[in-house]
Structure 1
Amino acid sequence: MKKLIVFIGICIAGTSMGQQYKSFPMWDYTLPVEQRVNDLVNRLTLEEKVGQMLNAAPAITRLGIPAYDWWNETLHGVARTPYHVTSYPQAIAMAATWDTASLYMMADYSATEGRAIHNRAIAEGKDNERYMGLTYWTPNINIFRDPRWGRGQETYGEDPYLTAKLGAAFVRGLQGNDPRYLKAAACAKHFAVHSGPESSRHSDNFNPSLHDLWDTYLPAFHELVVNAHVAGVMCAYNAVNGQPCCGNDLLMTSILRRQWKFTGYVTSDCWAIDDFFKYHKTHKDATAAAADALIHSTDIECGTSVYYSLINAVKTGLLSEAQLDTSLKRLFTIRFRLGMFDPVSQVKYAQTPASVLESPEHDDHALKMARESIVLLKNSDGVLPLSKKIRKIAVIGPNADNKIAVLGNYNGTPSRVVTLVEGIRQKLGPDATLIYEKAINYTNDTLLSYRDLTPMLSFKGSPGVQAEYFANEQLEGAPLQTLIEKDIDHYWTEGQTPAPNLKTIHYSARYTTFLKAAATETMNFEIDGDDGYRLFINDSLVIDAWTKNRWGARPFALPVQKDSSYKLVVEFYQNEGNASIRVKVGDRVKTDFAALAARLKDVDAIIFAGGISPQLEGEEMPVKVPGFEGGDRTTIMLPSVQTKLLKALQQTGKPVIFVMMTGSAIAIPEEQAKIPAIINAWYGGQRAGSAIADVLFGDYNPSGRLPVTFYASDNDLPPFTDYAMHNRTYRYFRGKPLYPFGYGLSYTHFTYSRLKMAESARKGTPVNVSVALTNTGEFDGDEVVQLYVSYPAEANAPVRSLKGFQRISLKRGESKEVSFTLTPEDLSLIDEKGNSYQPGGKAVISIGGGQPGKENAGAENVLSQTMMVR
């Protein structure tokens, strides 16, 4: 296989070794990259240059330059590829580990799998397709300032310091440590001041104060650009101070390029340049938008074709061709650093075999991170851990056996996903009885009781459905593939394809079958699809959701006569993103909570797996149900139907454990008051069920800590569209949270003692802090030691700010000294003009298992000392 890959790698350049361009300096791998890039760019025509500034850059065959699509994702494992990959916990869950070493390793493993996919794609001639490249538009380091934002699950939480440290670890792991080649290219997004709402993101304009900009929204970007040397930056959809981010004087020119001296590439968010003239109305047309984005050093347009207007911009004098060259040199520098123009024998990463995909060590690490991410929120009277001698257990709820929920969004597809039901079944073994019932949906108590359609379906005398797949969105021409399938019930994530040789986007399908009724009745059908679909019965159009009103399932009733046959034809098309088309038949049944409780009267314990799901929260989604709209949340309260069910389950008198899955903070004041044990399991990745079972039954001592504040109610939140940080996040919130940032319980107990630090310090000098940590409980476990700094006398300063953390493993009875060094930057604040300064006077240093304060876990062991700064 290696010889084949080497051969293909050589032949990327052209069809024969004797072609003239092989002698050009651009192809001489012994020369400096800068010289090679300059040679390449100088050989391009204007039209060729512009083509290379689109995310799907075409091939330039006369120079041997292969086509390349810059668009790829690896938020928590390689995403949207057609191959099976390892799926780690969602980003917010990885943030809950507070483990930079684990995050570094996860990124390193993801880059390894990404290299294997890219190499395989080269061998299969698919390396120019989306989601096959090595430029990953990850990580998302926006600040999760408001729990209603559906994409907050993609971030590392609400704190700039934690986000910066985790993001930097990810970048270093993904990009590798080779002095010459990048293992993969990371991209910090979305620059900047971007965190919802999703419904208005294309037209929003925010005017943050200079204090908030430099104190909250920019520190993580600074860390990744200046210190971690991230390869790319993605500019955001929204405008800041009246200018779209991708054409923003302050963000792009003054800060990113001049102050931070960023030399990497910038891509627009997808279709963000269109927004200049379509939604922001700041530019008159595509040419003006494209020119301004380029002037502000946006090197790639991800989207449709606005950057084609750069040809006209140069010809009409809006731009010089030399300005294009600056961007092109940045872009090709990245491709050269990825080894794309060098022999495979020279690039160790290009030799990564396909066997690394889903390797055992990657699966083990997915389990490790899932375990570390789980936060124990409540454990009254030692309900947890449960005994493994339990003989009968009930696992109830919409997340109990939901594989979509544990995978989060921007995910890849592993070959095996362990749900909570599976994890508990494996833990207890065949001798225990496990009762599983979904019981409710996330927001209502009416379930569809489905019937199996397959015995009634046939096509030309054979069981099933004829499926015709077309390589376009319009069902045009001859189908690329014609298959016989058992039913019409499909869901494909981005990067998956429904048929051999069909691309992963921009396709359509027609399904034809004949239904033979088993009885005379009215059959209640439901059809749902994405992106557009329509249904014909006996050649008459019954439902048309092809272009309008496409979102949501459509019910329809079909009166049928026994043994009569009915022709069903379903057509659908896929544009971008996930794809699905489903036709089901059944009856809606309202759950009887009292009857359910009665069925569970003799179990030993009840696990309720609830919360929410990436099916409800995420990027610009077509969802509109109580509590959720457009991908965002309209309330942070747990859906009331879940509270109602939990009350019914408590009436059994059996121990009830609430396993909450979510990508954002959920307000659960009633549950906190009444449910004896609560864990937050986030979206835990492919081994989520195993990890949760390990925690529930004591094979792993929970050690996750919250990377966001869990507020008590919606009343604690300022308006969603208000980007001022006043009363937001633990740094500025003056109320009482339900669970504070940094919170998390353990099955053991940690004691802090012997805080050592100077009583005074001079400005501009580092400060050393140490503390003794002892595991005084009965279990081995991990503690996350957290260090906070506050300046009580400084107006408008944060209540406190995280400035150090370490995850420490201790056997029971074991002690360790934990040390930190606070830099002058750590001890500084931001003034109203956005400038950094170090205050004089009293600074309070707190170190322990959470924030100081009686409401915090382990707060009796948080030690604080005042230091005078002169």
Structure 2
Amino acid sequence: MHKILGIAFLLATASAGAQDFKSYPMWNPSLPIEQRVNDVVSRLTLEEKVAQMLNATPAIARLGIPAYDWWNEVLHGVARTPFRTTVFPQAIAMAATWDTNSLYRMADYSALEGRAIHNKAIEQNRTSERYLGLTYWTPNINIFRDPRWGRGQETYGEDPFLTGMLGRAFVRGLQGEDPKYLKAAACAKHFAVHSGPEPSRHADNFNPTTYDLWDTYLPAFKELIVDANVAGVMCAYNAVNTQPCCGNDLLMNDILRKQWKFNGYVTSDCWAIDDFFKYHKTHPDATSAAIDAVVHGTDVECGQTVYKTLYDAVKNGQIKEAQLDISLKRLFTIRYRLGMFDPVAMVKYAQTPATELESAPHQAHALKMAQQSIVLLKNEQQTLPLRRSIKKIAVVGPNANNRIAVLGNYNGIPSRIVTVLDGLKEKLGAGVEIMYEKGVDFTKDTLLAYTDLKNQFSWDGKQGFKAEYYNNRELKGEPVFTTTDDHVDHTWQRGDIIGNGLTATNFSARYTTRFTATASGSTMLELEADDGYRLLINGKEVINAWLRNRWGARAYQLNTVKDSSYHIVLEYWQGDDNANVALRTGQRMKTDYAALAARLAQADAIIFAGGISPQLEGEEMPVNAPGFNGGDRTTIQLPAVQTELLKALNATGKPVVFVMMTGSALATPWESAHIPAILNAWYGGQSAGTAIADVLFGDYNPAGRLPVTFYSSDSDLPGFSDYTMQGRTYRYFTGKALYPFGYGLSYTNFRYATLKAPTTIRTGNKIRVTAQLTNTGTRDGEEVAQLYIAHPNTKGKAPIRALKGFQRHFLKAGQTIQVSFTLTPEDLSLVNEANGQLYQPKGKISISVGGGQPGVTNATTSNVLSQQLTIQ
């Protein structure tokens, strides 16, 4: 094994005339990191300095510095790498566990897998590639203030306290507990006041009140930066108070660096510095944008273009080279803390083996968190758990067998994915008949009835398609290789080998065939791809989604004449992430709800797996389906076609269970009134189907709790671009929620008793609050004890109530335990409307402890205890 981390060192020593850089202080592991960092920065030329401030940094052979790309993702498992990794539930689902220990363990396991991948990258001389480094741009701790935001699935929900506690656990797990070395580097994003809309995010300016800024948008960031010592921060696309976040006086200079004394690194969101002059119009050109971002402490530009102007800016006296040195010292400090310039023997994480990838403990934890995340929203007439004695079960819906949905977004690819259909097949075995129907698409009641027309596609006398693959996105030059594919239905993970050494990264392909019609009429050609594509028939372009750069499906109806031949060309390009391209044929058929329900009525129970999908909601997506726009949602209602199908299924009289998958709150007023059992399963990761089957049949007692409010209708929501918190989230919403924040049912029952807390305290003192919790039911189960504080008589602005403590406990049937919370003066404080500072109001406050919010009816947790105390 090589003695120094970084293959560039080996290359440099072999190059002609290479200096003996090993004698430089920068390479002496016995010296303090600060001294080594100062030494390396002092040896860089101006050109090298500028290049080291881009996300993809080149090697500097004369100093032995390896190439490195700062951009990597680990939202719920290591994402987008060429290697198979464990995929845990999506972030919003992990938040639904209300379990900091589970989140800590998930981050710990993910960091181990990331280390194993990085070590392989060093061995294979691939350190310059994206998604192979150790600086992860996670967690996303923005507040999920509006359920229409497509990226809310990446967050830990709507509450600052819950977000802060879960985020802190993630950072601690990912970065490790070693006093010298980071296991990996976390990055709190997006700083700050950022939560949609997606289509306008590059140009938006928000002016939050001082109160909302400090009460809602900043607490989680403060928790991670001040208390959890997160290594990095990512500044957001939008502007706040007319200044872009990455060049913002208040956020970057005053709060982050001065008040919170953050000394880690800051990266821009990708191409956010371009937004200064392209969309915000706050700067005249790239140079002024680059200078302002650096002066405000943005150390890395993700985007690779604007910061290149810094070379001339220094030469022309527009910015001092010493200003660049400040950023460079922060950046190299992180790399040194990751052990990138020390012998392998000194860095235990650098010895992490490849066997950590998808190891048995990691896979078991992915299943555990999927189980923990499931929220039982409704369970009338003891519909659940289902009886194991059933002989026939129907599984229907757009998410019943959807492998994309369970993975969420910002995901890795595991070796095995379990859908709802897979999980039920494995649970029930051959003795139970499973009837599967997709039924409807997410928003449409027409489905493509696939037809096997392979023998009608041919090229050069061979069945199928001529497939040409290129090592660029533009189909330029000669193909790397050419082959014959009998059909086009491909899925590659980024970095997979397609053939002849070509990897599935930044490539393009052309598929050519002739379609011979065996009858006059028409056939539907349906294209599905995650990047750009276009379809040509007889030389005429009929579909052009070349700039799509996101998952999408399009269809073209080909009218045919018997025995005629049609020349078909499909062109496709792939960018940085996974590659998916498919061409399918058949006829669109409208769903006959009555006929479908009649067929499924033969079953003993019906499972409808619906909701939405990361195919519809996510980051800046070109989705234009009813109810969706640009990755966001225009309505929170469950798509109407699903409600119509559920009505037909419910009319059969058979027990219907609605398994809802979503990354955001859905309004389901009809379903909540009529369907006897509803599970919210989120995007549950690689083992989602197993976890769902376990809950459906009672092998796991559900205990997930909602990290967001599920509203009844769109009318409950203020304007999407309105960043005031009035009327938003459980803390300020005065209406009646369909399912409130903190809500979730169980298959057993719980009761709280004997709440103890002092009746009076002095300002500045901590208090201890205890209560007894008993499992009064007949099943073992878990309960999430929640503590809320309210200031009903305060003269200043205050939330209706605010979560200030939570614990997840397992109790055997009949068991009683004591739950204990310690509240700090900060927990008992409010935010001053004028200056944003915390203060402790004197007078009465209300403390409640129970299985949810006070005043919320929960069929399986019988009571919430409340007590008033006086602050003197």
Task: Provide the rounded CA distance (Å) in 2 between the counterparts of 1:387 and 1:446.
Answer: 33
Q: Which residue number corresponds to residue 280 of structure 1?
A: 280
Question: Within 2, Cα distance between the matches of 1:550 and 1:335?
Answer: 32
Q: 2:109 aligns to what SS in structure 1?
A: helix
CA contact 1:6–1:345 (8 Å) conserved in 2: no
Aligned equivalent of 1:832: 833
Letter of the 2:279 counterpart: Y
What amino acid is aligned across from residue 738 of structure 1 in structure 2? Answer: L
Q: Distance in 2 between matches of 1:446 and 1:540?
A: 27
Deviates more, 1:479-488 or 1:117-126: 479-488
1:182 corresponds to: 182
Q: Does 1:799 align with 2:800?
A: yes
Residue 857 of structure 2: which of 855, 858, 865 is its match? Answer: 855
Q: CA deviation at 1:807?
A: 0.5
Residue range with higher mean Cα deviation, 343-352 or 172-181: 343-352
Separation of aligned partners in 1, 2:538 and 2:300: 49
Tell me how far apart the structure 1 counterparts of residues 413 and 389 of structure 2 sit (CA, whole Å).
34
1:587-613 residue CA offsets vs partner (Å, 9 max, x unmatched): 100111111111122211001101110
Q: For residues 845 and 233 of structure 2, what CA distance do their matches in structure 1 show?
A: 35
- Cα distance, 1:551 vs structure 2: 8.7
Aligned residues of 2:550 and 2:621 also touching (Cα < 8 A)? no
Counterpart of 2:227 in structure 1 is 227
Once the two structures are superposed, residues 129-151 of structure 1 have per-residue CA deviations (whole angstroms, 9 ceiling, x without a partner) of 01111110000000000000000
Task: Give the counterpart letter for 1:633 in structure 2.
Answer: R
Partner of 2:666 in structure 1?
666
Give the SS at the match of 2:803: strand
Match of 1:11 in 2: 10
Find the aligned partners of 1:316 and 1:803 in 2 and give their Cα distance.
Answer: 53
**Residues 8-49 of structure 1: per-residue CA shift (max 9 Å, x gap):** 586266437984112211111221111111111111111110
Q: Write the distance in 2 (CA, Å) between the matches of 1:525 and 1:810.
A: 55
**Mapping for residues 122-271 of structure 1, pairs under 5 Å:** 122-271=122-271
| Partners of 1:519 and 1:562 within 8 A in 2 | yes
**Does the 8 A contact of 1:5 with 1:123 survive in 2?**
no
C-alpha contact 1:849 1:858 (8 A) present in aligned 2: no
Output the CA distance in 2 between the equivalents of 1:202 and 1:101: 36
Q: 1:552 to 1:749 in 2, by over 3 A?
A: closer
Report the counterpart of residue 513 of structure 1 in structure 2: 513
Tell me, yes or no, if structure 1 residue 809 matches structure 2 residue 798.
no
* Alpha-carbon distance between aligned partners in 2 of 1:670 and 1:558, rounded to the nearest angstrom: 39
- 1:548-569 CA deviation, whole Å, 9 max, x = no partner? 9999544334455556654432
CA contact (8 A) 1:185 1:232 kept: yes
Q: CA deviation at 1:461?
A: 3.6
Q: Which moved more, 1:12-21 or 1:396-405?
A: 12-21
Does the CA-based 8 Å contact 2:398-2:440 persist in structure 1? yes
SS at 2:721 equivalent: coil
Kept in 1, the 8 Å contact 2:506–2:576? The answer is yes
Task: For residue 572 of structure 1, give the secondary structure of its aligned residue in structure 2.
Answer: strand
1:756–1:12 Cα change, 3 Å: farther
Instruction: Give 5+ residue unaligned stretches, structure 2.
Output: none
Q: 1:787 to 1:631 in 2, by over 3 A?
A: same
Q: What is the alpha-carbon distance in structure 2 between the residues aligned to residue 697 and residue 437 of structure 1?
A: 21
3-state SS of 1:589 partner: strand
**How many Å apart are 1:514 and its aligned residue?**
3.5
C-alpha change, 1:298 and 1:178, in structure 2 (3 Å) is: same
- Mapped to 2, the partners of 1:331 and 1:224 lie a distance apart of 19
After superposition, what is the alpha-carbon deviation per residue over 1:439-475, rounded to whole angstroms, capped at 9, x for unaligned?
0011111001111233333343444323222222221
The residue that corresponds to 1:869 in the other structure is 871
Change (3 A) 1:528 1:810: closer
RMSD: 2.0
Give the alignment of 1:579-618 within 5 angstroms.
Answer: 579-618=579-618
Q: Which residue of 1 aligns with 2:344?
A: 344
Residues 56-113 of structure 1, C-alpha deviations (whole Å, 9 max, x = no match): 1111112121111111000000011121110000000000000000000000000111
TM-superposed CA distance for 1:345, in Å, is 1.8
Q: What is the deviation of 1:496?
A: 5.4
Deviations 1:296-347 (A, max 9, x none): 0000000140000111221222210000000001011111111111222221
Distance 2:670 2:152 in 1: 24
Bigger shift: residues 215-224 or 122-131: 122-131
Distance 1:530 1:614, change over 3 A: closer
Query: In terms of mean alpha carbon deviation, does 293-302 or 460-469 score higher?
Result: 460-469
In 1, the alpha carbon distance for the partners of 2:11 and 2:358 equals 28
Q: Deviations over 1:134-170 (max 9, x none)?
A: 1100000000000000000000000000000000000
Shift of 1:4: 10
Cα separation, 1, equivalents of 2:259 and 2:788: 28
C-alpha distance in 2 between matches for 1:247 and 1:424? 52
Bigger shift: residues 529-538 or 164-173: 529-538
Q: Is the 8 A contact 2:749 2:861 kept in 1?
A: no
Pairwise mapping of residues 113-512 of structure 1 onto structure 2 (< 5 A)?
Answer: 113-492=113-492, 498-499=498-499, 501-512=501-512
- The SS at the match of 1:625 is coil
Decide whether aligned partners of structure 1 residues 547 and 731 sit closer, same or farther in structure 2, where only a CA change above 3 A counts.
closer
**Identity level (%):** 67
- Give the conservation status (yes or no) of the 8 Å contact 1:851–1:859: no
Q: What is the distance in 1 between the residues matched to 2:436 and 2:669?
A: 26
Aligned length: 869
CA–CA distance in structure 2, aligned partners of residues 527 and 861 of structure 1 = 53
Q: Distance in 1 between matches of 2:845 and 2:346?
A: 53
Superposed CA deviations along residues 500-525 of structure 1, whole A, max 9, x for unmatched, are 64355432222223334444543332
Contact residue 528 and residue 581 of structure 2 kept, 8 A = yes
Alignment of 1:21-36 (within 5 A): 21-36=21-36
* 2:9–2:66 CA contact under 8 A, matched in 1: no
Alignment correspondent of 1:731: 731
Please give the alpha-carbon distance, in whole angstroms, between the structure 2 residues aligned to 1:530 and 1:602: 38
Shift of 1:233: 0.2
Partners of 1:5 and 1:400 in 2: CA distance:
49
2:77 equivalent in structure 1: 77
Task: Write the deviation string for residues 377-414 of structure 1: whole angstroms up to 9, x where unpaired.
Answer: 01112111111111100011001110100100000001
SS in 1 for 2:371: helix
Write out per-residue CA displacement over residues 775-794 of structure 1, whole angstroms, 9 at most, x where no aligned residue: 11011011000001110011
Corresponding position of 2:820? 819
Q: Distance in 2 between matches of 1:845 and 1:556?
A: 61
Cα distance in 2 for residues equivalent to 1:549 and 1:502: 20
CA distance in 1, matches of 2:331, 2:394: 55
CA distance in 2: counterparts of 1:487 and 1:67, whole angstroms:
39
CA displacement at 1:545 relative to structure 2? 4.0
Contact 1:225 1:260 in 2 (8 A): yes
CA contact (8 A) 1:453 1:487 kept: no
Do the aligned partners of 2:494 and 2:503 also contact (CA within 8 Å) in 1?
no
Query: Which amino acid letter does the alignment assign opposite residue 121 of structure 2?
Result: A
* Alpha-carbon contact 2:450-2:584 (below 8 Å) kept: yes
Q: Distance in 1 between matches of 2:538 and 2:242?
A: 55
Q: Partner letter of residue 573 of structure 1?
A: W
Gapped regions of structure 1 (runs ≥ 5): none
- 1:429 is paired with a residue whose SS is helix
| Cα distance between partner residues in 2 of 1:540 and 1:635 | 37
